[in-house]
Amino acid sequence: MRPDPEPSARPASYADLSAWAVEARDYRVTLRRCPASRVAVIAPHGGRIERDTSTVAQAIAAHDLNFYAFEGLLARRNHERLHLTSHRFDEPRCLELLSGCDHVIAVHGCALDDARALLGGRDETLKAALAMALRAAGLEVETEGHRFPGLHPDNICNRGATGRGVQLELSDRLRDADHLERVARAVRAGLGLVAG
Q: Quick check: 1 pLDDT over 50? A: no
Per the structure, the count of domains in the chain is 1
The answer to whether position 152 is within a domain reads yes
Residue 148 belongs to domain with CATH number: 3.40.630.100
Mean pLDDT confidence for 95-105 = 98
> CB under 8 Å to 150, separation ≥6 — which residues?
86, 106, 120, 121, 122, 157, 158, 165, 166, 167
HEC readout, 17-86: HHCCCCECCCEEEEEECCCCCCEEEEEEEEECCCCCHHHHHHHHHCCCCEEEEEEECCCCCHHHHHCCCH
The answer to whether position 59 is within a domain reads yes
The answer to whether position 180 is within a domain reads yes
The answer to whether position 163 is within a domain reads yes
CA distance 65 to 155: 21
User: What pLDDT was estimated at residue 195?
Assistant: 82
Amino acid at site 141: V
Q: What is the pLDDT of residues 117-139, one digit of tens each?
A: 999 999 999 999 999 999 999 99
The answer to whether position 7 is within a domain reads no
User: What pLDDT was estimated at residue 9?
Assistant: 67
The answer to whether position 3 is within a domain reads no
Q: What is the pLDDT of residues 89-98, one digit of tens each?
A: 999 999 999 9
Q: What is the pLDDT of residues 144-174, one digit of tens each?
A: 999 999 999 999 999 999 999 999 999 999 8
* Domain ranges, residue 154: 14-195
The answer to whether position 1 is within a domain reads no
Range in 3-7, 78-82, 191-195 with the lowest mean pLDDT? 3-7
